[in-house]
Structure 1
Amino acid sequence: MTQNTPLPLRPHEVRHHVQSAAQLRARGVSAAQTAAQCLPGGPWQQLLPGVYLLHPGPPTGEERLHGALLYAGRPPVSARRPAAPAPAGPPYGEAMATGPAALTLYGFSSAPPVASLHRIDVLVPRTRRLRSTGYVQVLRRAGLPRPVLVGGVPVAPVERALADAVAGITDGSMARRMLTEAVRGGHCEPAAVVQELSAAKLLGLAHVREAVESLLAEGRAVAESRLYEMVRTRGLPAPLWNVDLRLPGGPRLGEVDAYWPDQAVAVEIDSRTPSEDGEAHWSAYADKRDHLERLGITVVHVTAEKLRETLEQQATVVRTALMAANDREPAAYVVILPR
């Protein structure tokens, strides 16, 4: 066999034409044969340490991603008989794509194509002794999240991928576009993103803080839009939107997102994030709710996540509160002002 003669490998064994040394050995290809195939002018080339591209010419973006995961995963591969069926998908061990590459797989328009990325971020357990090399940036973290399979590729959850992407850029406008798209596209809620950014100790960076402000504003707008949709499409009577409640000639009671004065029912969207003083902020919510309910006003507390995932259930809660108004004592008179 000459160095320019491709070794006979089954197509299903060569997904994206990228194989690890362990996979090649499992097919009976020795290290010497692999080295011969990768000589100048040969049909193969070494893509990364222990990872080989089984064709000449530059790798595609998909091949680069597959190679990065094979390099970082280093899963054990046992020899199989030629007649044995191929596995359903390539094994990557505990490695998963994160950062911009993961966002691209999720369909983010603000993330560049994988083929154009100078580096591909891969998440592995902190206990792995593995260095970044070539175009692969290895991120070793404790407590890995459960990966999401996107097209058969293990990918970090969106909020984790966002935090890893933001950690690698200094362009505030780029960070803002990514975070805003995450919420606008319904990929995740702002609180989950802020929690990951806080855990990564990124909230102290000026460009990240500015991006988070845009994220929270977008999240608030999306949640309000879902609340409007709930009222419009679930047969609920139209409320007064975004009003401030006060006692006549007395103190301010607080703002609510929707209010039905005839039934004395209010809806409030919980917009807290992990970056705020959770206990103090929740205490303020609870105090306002208790004060309103002592005046006979029913407060329905909803979150952006509930409005996204269980809209029908939230509509039922509001409808029940409205229907129960006739069975309650009349509420105290309050002054209603636009917010």
Structure 2
Amino acid sequence: MTQNTPLSSCPLNHFREVRQRVLSTAQLRAHGVSATQAASQCLPSGPWQQLLPGVYLLHREPPTGADRLHGALLYAGRTPTPGRRAGSPQAAAAQAGSGYGAAMVTGLAALTLYGFDSAPPLMSLRRIDVLVPRTRRLRSTRFVQVLRSAGLPCPGQVAGVPVAPVERALADAVAELTDAAAVRRLLTEAVRGGHSEPAAVVRELSAAKLLSRAPVVDAVDSLLAEGRAVAERRLYAMVRDQGLPDPLWNVELRMPGGPGLGGVDAYWPDQAVAVVLDTRAPRHSAPEAGEQKEHDARGSAYTTGREHLEELGITVVPVAPRKLREAMEQQATVVRTALTAAADREPAAYVMILPR
């Protein structure tokens, strides 16, 4: 049987109009091709090949990265057993009509789709991780690694492919990596490339119970340092691009002859307005007693320092790095409003300004 010979009332030429050259048994059945007919096409002399159980490649060439990716999703997205839930309502709604059920790509394959330079090309990946609901009775096979989750995140879409959020994809990738340098590159690029914020990444790593793993410990420190550097650059850009007056950068405030009041990232002395970047690391899940005490002490010091400055008449504008990334103009408006309102306030107490 040649590739141009019709198997049913629907000729094979019709399949070339499909976006991908990979079809599941159910999709073939919808085109009038039975499982027996599909199997016959995959004989050594036939024009097709079976890529995965229930998934067929409609050519004899080696599968491309896209073939493997879509094949993995078709395999993992097969219709679940009737009566079983396909995942959270949000995930189910997002996946409606995708043809992949509740399945989504995660791990290194997802990071590749997001454009991470430190993630390998699809063709070089030994496996493709696919996230499915925990209730799915589905085994990993060939190049497909099935990961189950009790609560599926709402996927994003990259070129029509359902992809786990960056933070979840990072956690799933890091869980399988033992190379500390590779882990550090991925986490650093997530922040440097604007894909996510350190706090969100650390929360996901914490939820996956990965923060105590050796390759992750040092990488998280680098991640937080990179996150602060990126936030500072965005703060500089906000002041410059939004036409705000130049402040004093990275200074420490101190009472004359008295105690220090803490450092601020930007300070307008004439208006007594300070901007503070809140780049504190989120608390680890189930921390040790000592770690919990240290975390609580840092949070208390942050709050106390801000309250002390405000008691002295200094307006403190806390800025979250995420808001600088997603709503810079809005944050600039908040700062501009604080500067304008200074004329209507009582003069602030005199403070010394020192380099930090």
Same fold (TM > 0.5): yes
Q: State TM-score, norm by structure 1.
A: 0.92
1:216 Cα offset (Å): 0.9
Given the alignment, which residue of 32, 35, 46 partners 2:36? 32
Give the alignment of 1:100-249 within 5 angstroms: 100-249=108-257
Q: Secondary structure at the match of 1:59?
A: coil
Contact 2:2/2:46, CA 8 A, preserved across alignment: no
Determine whether 1:41 maps to 2:41. Answer: no
Alpha carbons of structure 1 residues 52 and 246: separation in structure 2 relative to 1, 3 Å: same
Given the alignment, which residue of 70, 77, 97 partners 1:73? 77
Contact 1:6/1:43, CA 8 A, preserved across alignment: no
Q: Structure 2 counterpart of 1:108, which letter?
A: F
1:73 Cα offset (Å): 0.4
The C-alpha deviation readout for 1:176-200, integer Å capped at 9, x for no partner, is 1111111111111111111111011
2:312 alignment counterpart: 295
Contact 1:6/1:37, CA 8 A, preserved across alignment: no
Q: Structure 1 counterpart of 2:157, which letter?
A: L
Aligned-pair identity in percent equals: 75
Contact 1:72/1:95, CA 8 A, preserved across alignment: yes
1:11 Cα offset (Å): 2.8
Alpha carbons of structure 1 residues 2 and 32: separation in structure 2 relative to 1, 3 Å: farther
Given the alignment, which residue of 7, 16, 21 partners 1:17? 21
Given the alignment, which residue of 331, 345, 349 partners 1:314? 331
CA distance in 2, matches of 1:6, 1:137: 35
CA distance in 2, matches of 1:11, 1:29: 11
CA distance in 2, matches of 1:309, 1:197: 22
After superposing the two structures, state which structure 1 stretch, 165-174 or 267-276, moved more.
267-276
CA distance in 2, matches of 1:227, 1:212: 22
The C-alpha deviation readout for 1:64-99, integer Å capped at 9, x for no partner, is 0000000000048xxxxxxxxxxx975000000011
CA distance in 1, matches of 2:160, 2:79: 16
1:316 Cα offset (Å): 1.3
Across the aligned residues of Structure 1 and Structure 2, the Cα RMSD in angstroms comes to 2.0
Determine whether 1:268 maps to 2:276. Answer: yes
Q: Secondary structure at the match of 1:259?
A: strand
Unaligned runs of 5+ in 2: 81-95, 285-291
CA distance in 2, matches of 1:216, 1:116: 30
1:81 alignment counterpart: none
CA distance in 2, matches of 1:289, 1:4: 74
Contact 1:5/1:43, CA 8 A, preserved across alignment: no
Alpha carbons of structure 1 residues 295 and 101: separation in structure 2 relative to 1, 3 Å: same
CA distance in 2, matches of 1:89, 1:172: 39
2:60 alignment counterpart: 56
Q: Secondary structure at the match of 2:20?
A: helix
1:38 Cα offset (Å): 1.1
Contact 1:289/1:299, CA 8 A, preserved across alignment: yes
Q: State TM-score, norm by structure 2.
A: 0.87
After superposing the two structures, state which structure 1 stretch, 275-284 or 260-269, moved more.
275-284
Unaligned runs of 5+ in 1: 77-87
Q: Structure 2 counterpart of 1:332, which letter?
A: A
Q: Structure 1 counterpart of 2:190, which letter?
A: A
CA distance in 2, matches of 1:297, 1:214: 32
The C-alpha deviation readout for 1:272-319, integer Å capped at 9, x for no partner, is 232355765443322111111111111001100111111111111111
Q: Secondary structure at the match of 2:336?
A: helix
After superposing the two structures, state which structure 1 stretch, 36-45 or 65-74, moved more.
36-45
